[in-house]
Amino acid sequence: MVVVKITLKTSEEYIESLRKRRLDVYLYGDQVKNPVDHPVIRPSINSVAATYEVANDPKYEGLATATSHLSGEKINRFTHIHQNIEDLIKKVKLQRILGQKTGTCFQRCVGWDSLNALSIVTFEMDQKLGTTYYDRFNQYLRYVQENDLVCCGAMTDPKGDRSLRPSQQADPDLYLRTVERRDDGIVVRGSKVHQTGGINSHDVIVMPTRTMREDDKDYAVSFAVPNDTEGLIYIYGRQSCDTRKLEGVEFDMGNPKYGGQEVMIVFDDVFVPWERVFMCGEYEFAWPLVDTFSAYHRQSYGGCKSGVGDVLIGAAANIAEYNGTAGASSIKDKLVEMNHLNETIYSCGIACSSEGCKKPSGTYFVNTLLANICKHNVTRFPYEITRLAEDIAGGLLVTAPSEKDLKNPKIGKYVEKYLKGVSECPTEYRLRMLRLIENLSMGLGSVGYRTESMHGAGSPQSQRIMIEREVNMESKKKLAKIIAGIEKDELLEIEK
């Protein structure tokens, strides 16, 4: 009998592990000494903790966990390298479940997609260039799996003047770059922006953000460092309505327990030892790494966005009942449309997974065309789902008074009386549901749903470029010519 060592952290152990770090964090212009218990930051930490909760829940055994191909041990699926088509499908299913549970971004997908992309590209680099990056990566991966770490995947640079390449910028630091190569490692300088869960992670995995030429080779760099490494500075991104978290008014937040997080990470001459470097100057592999990561991350949106969409659709259905409009045919039709759009997103995530393939490293990769179709739908459908939810909710969505008004001894009775919907529904329930819809459509939660759906994993145009590249138009043209009688079907001619 083989004894399998379990390496899973609990949610409590995860939160405690964050307390051991010493991060240089800034929020609202002030340094934050204790990010773990800060009221603005803590809900985003709770979202990551949910990934540990499901991994320890017997109900999700085999979905939220996997067996490491390196050690044979049971690991959190968020540290797993996809070994077959089933793994790719389980990824999307797990992401949907976590979207349903948190109603926001749970922040581990970017790091997960980074690990899988590096497992493919470092192998291909070694095969072509004779480097040893793949072995380095696997040693690092084993460390991540054994310690059940959260990794922040850091790809997006500030970019400066978008018409210029990295090496052409007036300020050379507008793309992260290697500024020194030493016997024991490298020194890097620059920044990564829009970094999901940066403060809530244990490690930061850096990747280049675009195709590179030889003049840009200093910018073709990939590595991993602990997120409390000297020289790392975190600047917290503002979110709409974020100061509500400081007011201590629970249901005005809409989703009081969970939240998303985006930060700017500054790399102020950060040292990286060679054993943590996975690319350094191999500029011809910058684009393959970007392309591979992007396809994985566009697949991810088929899961997480459909899961959060489930929450918003449920909220819209509830508010229709509370308003007394649930029986109207127009409301039913809107809910059908919302579900149609949401399930289309999910279907694309499952489709690009089902059509995946095995790469030379042994890692399974998604169908790139369908992954881009998935994300391109996400740049549109959540906006329409949100519009319909706002339509169903009514104007009170943006005019409702605060929870403090409801509980005020003098005016609370008027709020209770005049903002009631159907008689059997407490006014508080109606206001809570409205705040949840507000959260997802325009407030704190929109960073993990509506707004983030546009540019997360690449802008709509980046998907359109990839769709144009991946679609075989000549094949489609030939099909039409055969049916129109312009060309002969070569296969039929051979059979004759």
Q: Concatenated DSSP letters for 324-382?
A: T-TT-HHHHHHHHHHHHHHHHHHHHHHHHHHT-EE-TTS-EE--HHHHHHHHHHHTTHH
Cα distance between the two ends of the chain = 59
458: buried, middle or exposed (CB in 10 Å: 19+, 13-18, 0-12)? buried
**H or E element at residue 189:** strand 185-196
Helix, strand, or coil (residue 151): strand
13 is catalytic: no
Integer Cα distance of 9 and 382 in angstroms: 33
Integer Cα distance of 281 and 130 in angstroms: 14
297 is catalytic: yes
Q: Is the dihedral of CA 319, 325, 330, 333 positive or negative?
A: positive
Integer Cα distance of 144 and 454 in angstroms: 30
Task: Please identify which of the residues 51, 124, 262, 352 carries the catalytic annotation.
Answer: 262
Integer Cα distance of 266 and 443 in angstroms: 27
490 is catalytic: no
Integer Cα distance of 149 and 79 in angstroms: 8
51 is catalytic: no
455 is catalytic: no
196 is catalytic: yes
Query: Would you say 77 and 148 are in contact if contact means Cβ atoms under 8 Å apart?
Result: no
Task: Please identify which of the residues 79, 80, 109, 321 carries the catalytic annotation.
Answer: 109
**H or E element at residue 470:** helix 460-470
38: amino acid identity, one letter: H
151 is catalytic: no
Task: Please identify which of the residues 151, 241, 280, 304 carries the catalytic annotation.
Answer: 304
Query: Would you say 273 and 230 are in contact if contact means Cβ atoms under 8 Å apart?
Result: no
Smallest CA-to-CA distance from 371 within 280, 466, 246 is with 466
301 is catalytic: yes
Integer Cα distance of 132 and 130 in angstroms: 7
Task: Give me the active site residues, please.
Answer: 105, 109, 196, 262, 297, 301, 304, 452
